[in-house]
């Protein structure tokens, strides 16, 4: 009987002693003017990362940039729509020009403007949600991905939703868009893994942001939502931040094509 040889250790390509370190990481956050995107942008800046901010509202995104400057950062402000291919290309050109590369993209820009039964959703409403949530995430991932592939690695964090996995009545377009983001993330993960770019999805449950305000304040739907959340409350935007930092950093270096859920327990049922 032969004795098996001692296992050889396979060094990780990006192993560091402080894997959660984001100092000087170059991070692009879309949807950074409000809500979860704003909280994540501030979280990255507080962790020492360089941050680029995108949203359509110049004034609101500048206010977030001002907050980051107060933390000692020098954010890039890249105003435009994520579903506008030319605007996305020029944003990535500006990142290349300023930073020479990119370490992480957080695709948080998204919309959920419709809450009605599927048979009442018109073509324009359907296309708008798919255009921003799916096409926008793809365009940013494609252009940022090229820059990361050139640089030999990086991380894409696509903000999806629990409704990519579990249905929700009156949210046909939104659920479809988030399911598409989940599938897109897995495919990008496979395509880019051997070239060092990891792609993961981060799926929030219900958080206290503008997007959910009407439902959270609704006489009937508020109770329905809370009944689905074992922790018995909505999340606050700061509670998504550490998951995003983890997925964007080397601490998650062996994760790609995964979906991390932060939902107060909704999908455990």
In terms of DSSP H, where are the helices of the chain?
35-46, 58-70, 85-99, 123-130, 136-151, 172-192, 210-217, 221-227, 238-248
Locate 105 and state its tokens. Answer: 């993209």
**Residue 155: strand pairing partners:** 104, 198
124 is a contact residue toward ligand NAP (CB under 6 A): no
- Is 34 a residue that touches ligand NAP (CB under 6 A)? yes
CB atoms closer than 10 angstroms to residue 139: 22
Q: Is 192 in the site for ligand NAP (CB under 6 A)?
A: no
Q: Which stretch binds ligand NAP (CB under 6 A): 7-15, 25-33, 114-122, 184-192?
A: 25-33
Which of 32, 173, 67, 50 lies closest to 113 in space, CA to CA? Answer: 173
CB 180 to ligand NAP: min, Å: 12
Among 43, 75, 154, 204, binds ligand NAP (CB under 6 A): 204
Catalytic entry in 28, 174, 206, 207: 174
Query: Could you give the strand order of the β-sheet that contains 197-204, starting from the edge strand earlier in sequence?
Result: 76-79, 50-55, 26-30, 104-107, 154-159, 197-204, 259-262
Least separation in angstroms between CB 241 and ligand NAP: 12
Count of residues interacting with ligand NAP (CB under 6 A): 32
- Point out which span in 12-20, 33-41, 149-157, 190-198 binds ligand NAP (CB under 6 A): 33-41
Q: Which of 108, 135, 175, 256 binds ligand NAP (CB under 6 A)?
A: 108
56 binds ligand NAP (CB under 6 A): yes
Residue 207 DSSP code = B
Stretch near ligand NAP under the rule CB under 6 A, chosen from 145-153, 210-218, 224-232, 246-254? 210-218
Other CB atoms within 10 A of residue 128 CB? 16
Please tell me the distance from the alpha carbon of residue 134 to that of residue 43, in angstroms, as a whole number.
25
Q: Specify the stretch interacting with ligand NAP by CB under 6 A; choose among 92-100, 165-173, 209-217, 219-227.
A: 209-217
Catalytic (active site) residue 206: no
Confirm if 240 and 261 have CB atoms less than 8 A apart.
no
Active-site amino acid positions = 174
- Catalog residues that contact ligand NAP under the rule CB under 6 A: 30-37, 54-57, 60, 81-83, 108-112, 132, 136, 159, 161, 204, 206-207, 209-212
């Amino acid at each position: 009987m032969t004795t098996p040889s001692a296992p050889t250790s396979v060094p990780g390509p990006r192993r560091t002693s402080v894997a959660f370190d984001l100092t000087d990481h170059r991070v692009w956050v879309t949807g950074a003017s409000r809500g979860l995107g704003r909280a994540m942008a501030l979280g990255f800046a507080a962790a020492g990362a360089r941050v680029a901010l995108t949203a359509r509202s110049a004034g609101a995104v500048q206010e977030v940039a001002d907050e980051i400057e107060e933390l000692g950062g020098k954010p890039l402000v890249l105003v435009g729509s994520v579903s506008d291919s030319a605007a996305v290309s020029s944003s990535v050109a500006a990142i290349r020009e300023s930073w020479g590369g990119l370490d992480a993209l957080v695709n948080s820009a998204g919309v959920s403007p419709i809450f009605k039964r599927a048979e009442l959703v018109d073509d324009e409403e359907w296309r708008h949600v798919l255009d921003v949530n799916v096409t926008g995430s793809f365009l940013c991932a494609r252009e940022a991905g090229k820059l990361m592939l050139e640089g030999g690695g990086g991380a894409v964090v696509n903000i999806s939703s629990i409704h990519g996995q579990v249905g929700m009545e009156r949210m046909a377009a939104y659920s479809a868009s988030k399911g598409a983001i989940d599938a897109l993330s897995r495919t990008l993960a496979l395509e880019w893994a051997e070239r060092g770019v990891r792609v993961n999805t981060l799926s929030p449950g219900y958080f206290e942001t503008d997007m959910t305000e009407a439902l959270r304040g609704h006489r009937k739907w508020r109770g329905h939502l809370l009944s689905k959340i074992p922790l018995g409350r909505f999340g606050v935007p700061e509670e998504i931040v550490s998951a995003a930092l983890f997925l964007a950093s080397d601490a998650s270096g062996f994760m790609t094509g995964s979906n991390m859920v932060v939902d107060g327990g909704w999908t455990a049922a």
